[in-house]
Amino acid sequence: MRTPDSATATHCPYCALQCGMNLRPLPGGAGVVVEERADFPVNRGALCGKGRTAPAVLSSRVRLTGPLVRTHATGRLEPATWEEALDAVAEGLARTGRTHGPDAVGVFGGGGLTNEKAYALGKFARVALRTSQIDYNGRFCMSSAAAAHQRAFGLDRGLPFPLEDVPRTGCVILVGSNPAETMPPALRYFTELQANGGTLIVVDPRRTRTADQADLHLAPRPGTDLALALGLLHLVVAEGRTDEEFIAGRTTGWPQARAAAMAHWPELVERITGVPVPKLREAVALFCDPASAMVLTARGPEQQSKGTDTVGAWINLCLATGRAGRPLSGYGCLTGQGNGQGGREHGQKADQLPGYRKLTDPAARAHVAEVWGVDPESLPGPGRSAYELLDALGTEVKALLLMGSNPVVSAPRAAHVEERIRSLDFLAVADVVLSETAALADVVLPVTQWAEETGTTTSLEGRVLLRRRALTPPPGVRTDLDVLHDLATRLGTGKGFPTDPEEVFEELRRASAGGPADYSGISYARIEAENGVFWPCPDEDHAGTPRLFLDRFATEDGRARFAPVTHREAGEVPDAEYPLLLTTGRVVAQYQSGAQTRRVDELNAAAPGPFVELHPRLATRIGAVEGAPLAVVSRRGRAVAPARITDTIRADTVFMPFHWPGEGRANTLTNPALDPVSRMPEFKVCAVRVEPA
């Protein structure tokens, strides 16, 4: 343990950059203050406003400090003892399982949980509850990219190379990402790329702060990124820019993918996307002329009902030009949530076991069951994906344990999801604050935060990091590992649910050994000594793997696989009643559902509430006035927020940030149409009309 007056080296609790920071205790136990940590190579000391103000949520003024139980007498959440609260949760879950069967009990996790907590939650669902009904909000983050990675490369890791490679490549195409708002310390990598003579192409229907910095901005209609990627590949073929040696030696499936791309000629793509043909040709030249290049995608192309195919089309562009499996080249995904990568690797997803093993693989089941000390036959099969699980609440799934998520704000078709949550027989929520979802619970369990607990996370680079406990939590707060241990004990399976995070990580190492996401060579000591270790790392003598696929891809034959994809329309297209397109996203001062950042005064001052961004021509047509209330209406509901009129957005598109509840809740409007492979909802595009409120 560190002495009380020393700083603790740790990482930010927010996005997947996991920026390094130091926490120094304030005198008299008055909390901690954030200090620069220049030794961590990803952010090199830089922090955004969310990271700088992260300790504000540790305050007892804004957080939960004791359990709450909804009483029959008042119908309100009232203070309770931990024993009362845990007894109520165990009884509620057990009663539902006895009455309706184990799959009537659901578990919903979060991409902010540490690897240890994600692993323990998946184990708890499958061993203590025997339910198949577990998924997490990371399904809403990068599941489409994950599915496309698996299909093309045989392995899913957000970035197959460290961020330090980005400034040294020749060109980056950044698709549907706005790091100036979502992860500001990462913007320096693109600035350095340009300073080194490289070029930046940004694909976004809005001229964001990131797009303003680009050498070329392509502004397609929302939902047409797939056609855009196919049009660029068509031009690559037509202009003789393919890397035939790479295609022949390291890929399969090119004839089919080429034929699909050739059906998307430039003029057709211009009609579909609105991007002029000369800009398409300019993008191809900028991407193909240098010796190396990268494509990086984020939620824009991924949060669509065809997100897997859209990402696949961008991967095809990389493969056809030899921009994959080579130094300073490749396709990568900018993961959003703090532990979105590790959270899905170790058992929170409905179809996966620790180590990124498939739940349907008999060998994987046998390996994990042996580590857990259970019969492989006792492990349930795959369950529902995140939205499908939420949609089943109150009908097939009658009780829910929820940790670290706020779907009342963050889920698509949010009013419907809220209705489903309200219809549950029993809801237990473990969280650090009384979120909009926690406020609906029968039992609320207050748990520790990032600075009050030790645990690992896995960044967007695939770098496994360690957060060390820096201060003691309030007396009425327990760790999620304590909660799972105590619940498992009450359910008759307390053995196997340790509360020490390092002990849990040691078990995770064994469970992941030999799997695609192999952590078996990673230890707490190594992480601290090496500033993080890149997986896969199969033994303690292995150096870790910062760069994947340089020798072979992770497929059976070592070759990458092209995907023969074609453009198709979004789940909803504009019509006479709903003539516009809505797209959603984030602002720099808030994070995800805002459950934590909306409790920080400095961040609220910078971003106090929702808004509707629209083009001046549209504003004139409907009579919208800057700052006046504007109603956005979809087939699922109505949201109202002040108008923000700007020429940085397409005239056929409106934008809303999704951080707020209430009448400005953007996800009241969004479409839950699911990608058939990844089960990702179509957050990024739906048909709407806009009118003064």
Q: Tell me how crowded residue 461 is: count the other CB atoms within 10 A of its CB.
A: 27
Reported as a pLDDT band with limits 50, 70 and 90, residue 544 is very high
Give CA–CA dist 395/508, Å, rounded.
34
Strand partners, 583: 655
With respect to CATH, is domain 159-334 assigned 1.10.8.590? no
3-state helix, strand, coil in the chain (%, to 5): 35, 20, 45
Contact assessment for residue 452 and residue 469, using Cβ atoms and an 8 Å cutoff = yes
pLDDT, one tens digit per residue, over 427-447 is 999 999 999 999 999 999 999
User: Is 50 exceeded by the pLDDT of residue 3?
Assistant: no
Reduce the DSSP state of residue 536 to 3 states and report it.
Answer: coil
pLDDT at 31 over 90: no
Which sequence spans correspond to the domains of the chain?
Answer: 68-138+339-534, 159-334, 580-692
Q: Is 274 exposed, middle or buried (0-12, 13-18, 19+ CB in 10 A)?
A: middle
* DSSP-assigned letter for residue 609: S
Instruction: Tell whether the torsion through CA atoms of 24, 47, 295 and 253 is positive or negative.
Output: positive
85 vs 446: CA distance, rounded Å: 10
Give bridge partners of residue 216 from the DSSP assignment: 201
Could you write out the three-class secondary structure of 164-199? HHHHHCCEEEEECCCHHHHCHHHHHHHHHHHHCCCE
Residue with tokens 């056929």: 652
- Pairwise CA distance, residues 664 & 631, whole Å: 9
Q: What amino acid occupies position 218?
A: L
Q: Which top CATH class is 68-138+339-534?
A: alpha beta
Tens digits of per-residue pLDDT, 133-155? 999 999 998 899 999 999 999 99
Query: How many degrees, rounded to 5, is the angle at CA 342 between CA 552 and CA 430?
Result: 165
| Backbone φ, ψ for residue 13 (5° rounding) | -85, 0
Residue type, 394: G
Record the tokens describing residue 397, joined without a space: 């799934």
**Residue 1, pLDDT score:** 34
**What pLDDT score was predicted for residue 344?**
87
For 567-605, write each residue's pLDDT tens digit. Answer: 999 999 999 999 999 999 999 999 999 999 999 999 999
pLDDT at residue 615 is higher than 90:
yes
Cα–Cα distance for residue pair 534/458, rounded to 1 Å: 9
* 446, 450, 456, 462 alpha-carbon torsion, rounded to 10°: 120
pLDDT of residue 27: 84
The upper half-sphere exposure of residue 343, i.e. CA atoms within 13 Å in the direction of its Cβ, equals 30
List, for residues 460-476, the tens digit of each pLDDT value: 999 999 999 999 999 99
Sequence-separated (6 or more) residues with CB below 8 Å from residue 349: 134, 135, 136, 138, 139
Rounded to an integer, the average pLDDT of 6-18 is: 94
Pairing label, strands 251-252, 560-561: parallel
Could you tell me whether strands 455-458 and 463-467 are parallel, antiparallel, or unpaired per DSSP bridges?
antiparallel
3-state secondary structure of 389: helix
Count the Cβ atoms, other than its own, within 10 Å of residue 74. Answer: 8
User: With bands split at pLDDT 50, 70 and 90, how would you rate the model's confidence at 2?
Assistant: very low
pLDDT of res. 610: 98
Residue labelled with tokens 């779907």: 407
**In the predicted model, is pLDDT for residue 4 greater than 50?**
no
Helix (H) or strand (E) holding 216: strand 216-218
Task: Check residue 295 and give left, alpha or beta (phi > 0: left; psi -120 to 50: alpha).
Answer: beta
d(CA 382, CA 135): 10
Burial 324-337 (b: 16+ CB within 10 A, else e): bbbebbbbbbbbbb
Tokens for 475? Answer: 């007396």
- Range 629-652 average pLDDT: 98
Q: Which residue is associated with the tokens 């009129």?
A: 645
Mean pLDDT of the chain, nearest integer: 96
Contacts of 666 (CB under 8 A, 6+ apart): 582, 584, 610, 639, 656, 657, 658, 660
Q: Is the dihedral of CA 267, 269, 271, 274 positive or negative?
A: negative
Q: What is the pLDDT of residue 157?
A: 95
List beta partners, residue 431.
446
Could you tell me if 45 and 11 are in contact, meaning their C-beta atoms sit under 8 angstroms apart?
A: no
- % residues pLDDT > 70 (the chain): 99
Instruction: Tell the residue number behind the tokens 């001046």, with chain if given.
Output: 616
pLDDT (mean) for 377-405: 97
Inter-residue contact 136 to 403 (CB < 8 Å): no
Whether 162 and 546 have beta carbons less than 8 Å apart is answered as: yes
Phi and psi dihedrals of 182, rounded to 5? -90, -35
**How would residue 5 be classed by pLDDT, with cut points 50, 70 and 90?**
low
Query: Which CATH number is associated with domain 580-692?
Result: 2.40.40.20
